[in-house]
A and B are shown apart, each in its own frame.
Chain A
């Protein structure tokens, strides 16, 4: 075989091998690392291991994420992927959330706590990391926030509407039949009795104590100090730093530096973040999905670790009582 034949033959063989390897490579990568480069690093750094950025932007709920809220199921899957992926050495939880439902927040807190056992985790609060948002942040090794970020709001809130007056005006009477004294305790067509309020308060107190205990554990602070941050108080990032609610003033750059210290490395660690693929974007763009989520909010708890600036949640909560 002459030289030019040999070169062409080799080129053909190499291209065949390259296609096969490329195809299987994509198959392997899709299983192990669905995180994409977040920053515009060069190709040479993208192949290395790096830091995953997991976003919690919007109110926290159970189920799946939509355009305006973060679903616990999706987020936990993302956290597990980051934990299991060999190319992810540390994680940044990018928080911009006023909190959300009690159950979903607690599940995410536990998932982040588990992740922290395996890899260093830092929380970065941009505008707001209040209530459930702060709850999740407290599970991280380090918390960063901007000077003017809203932090705190450790507390529990619930909404109950009484539209009996409105119904009376329209001459509508709705009655309930029940077996069990408190079965209709959150019934929106009458005011809550003192006993029912006490019962609800007891649940909320339990959730509040759980909140304090978890923050205390996560931050490594005595519960007495955490109690002083509580009662629903909100703090600026600057005050939160002084109160040791957060570790440093800063954003992702500072968080990366801190994570490098925890990892004891000077390597250049690119940021990776999960990108939605075509099908996920398509599913989220379906017009019925937001309405379905509103409908599914009926199955959510109406007790929130929430800084009540989220008008949407309050409206949704009110929607529960729509006759």
Chain B
């Protein structure tokens, strides 16, 4: 247990300080999958609790709301990162060389670990709540955290696949666009069906 905790702390340290070293370090990491799930779980919980922390008041339903939101965020991140890692792998295999492929598992781990950034969302929300304009600052704060997580992903994946920043962001934007397009198209299809039926 002590070894697991120390490894976890080391993983957190590397993710936040030296994400480009993750691809090397992860290979020696035992129980990496469990650690990823812990990171994702706390990131989702921190994000959900942080959002509610900004409110002026609480009701009994909020515990259910927070739990549900945390579950949805957790599921979204897991699915989104799975999709993203598969997309990177397949697109790089087709555009560069097959040697770049076959790293889906490592890519997914880096993406999962990037959510370490969101561990600090709740403390940041508490600080934001000190100001009356917390609602106004919420959106920029989310953008900042996403940017932080993306920079971890970019550094980690850049070293894993040995791609340039430009290539990484191009692929990232494509993958994100496709992932977001699915539900948007689905919802609009239903709306159109509803309007014209």
Contacts and interface: CB of A to CB of B under 8 A. Distances in A.
A8 B17 CA distance: 8
Nearest to B129: A43
B16 A22 contact: no
Interface stretch (A23-31, A211-219, A296-304): A23-31
B131 to A, nearest CB: 7
A278 interface: yes
Given A5-B13, A22-B50, A30-B63, A15 B123 contact: yes
A12 interface: yes
Contacts of B53: 22, 26
Contacts of A37: 56-57
A26 B62 contact: yes
A30 B49 contact: no
Interface string A14-48: 11101100110011011101111100101110100
B49 to A, nearest CB: 5
A43 B132 contact: yes
Contacts of B12: 8-9, 12
Nearest to A34: B59
Nearest to A278: B61
B60 interface: yes
Contacts of B60: 30-31
A22 B58 contact: no
Given A15-B46, A40-B132, A277-B62, A8 B122 contact: no
A183 interface: no
B87 interface: no
A18 B10 CA distance: 21
Interface residues of B, number: 33
A233 interface: no
A29 B45 contact: no
B66 interface: yes
Contacts of A46: 56
Contacts of A36: 56-57
Interface secondary structure of B, over-half rule: helix
A266 interface: no
A66 B72 CA distance: 32
Interface string B1-23: 00000000110110011000000
Contacts of B116: 12
A311 interface: no
B63 A27 contact: yes
Nearest to A46: B56
Contacts of B45: 19, 23
A43 B130 contact: yes
A281 to B, nearest CB: 11
A224 interface: no
A28 B12 CA distance: 31
B102 to A, nearest CB: 31
B184 interface: no
Contacts of A279: 59, 61
Contacts of B59: 30, 34, 277, 279
A19 B118 CA distance: 11
B168 interface: no
A27 B10 CA distance: 32
B159 interface: no
Contacts of A26: 49, 52-53, 58, 62-63, 66
Contacts of A31: 60
Given A12-B119, A30-B62, A23 B49 contact: yes
B128 to A, nearest CB: 10
Most chain A CB inside 10 Å of its own CB: which residue of B17, B56, B58: B58
A252 B159 CA distance: 64
B117 to A, nearest CB: 10
Contact of A15 (B9, B57, B122, B131): B122
Contact of A16 (B13, B17, B56, B119): B119
Contacts of B26: none
A268 to B, nearest CB: 15
Contact of B58 (A16, A30, A43): A30
Interface string B42-85: 10011001101100111111110110000000000000000000
A293 B106 CA distance: 60
B28 to A, nearest CB: 17
27 contacts: A4-B17, A5-B9, A8-B12, A8-B13, A12-B12, A12-B119, A14-B123, A15-B119, A18-B123, A19-B42, A19-B46, A19-B122, A22-B50, A23-B63, A23-B66, A26-B52, A26-B58, A26-B62, A30-B62, A30-B63, A33-B57, A35-B57, A43-B129, A43-B130, A43-B132, A275-B57, A277-B61
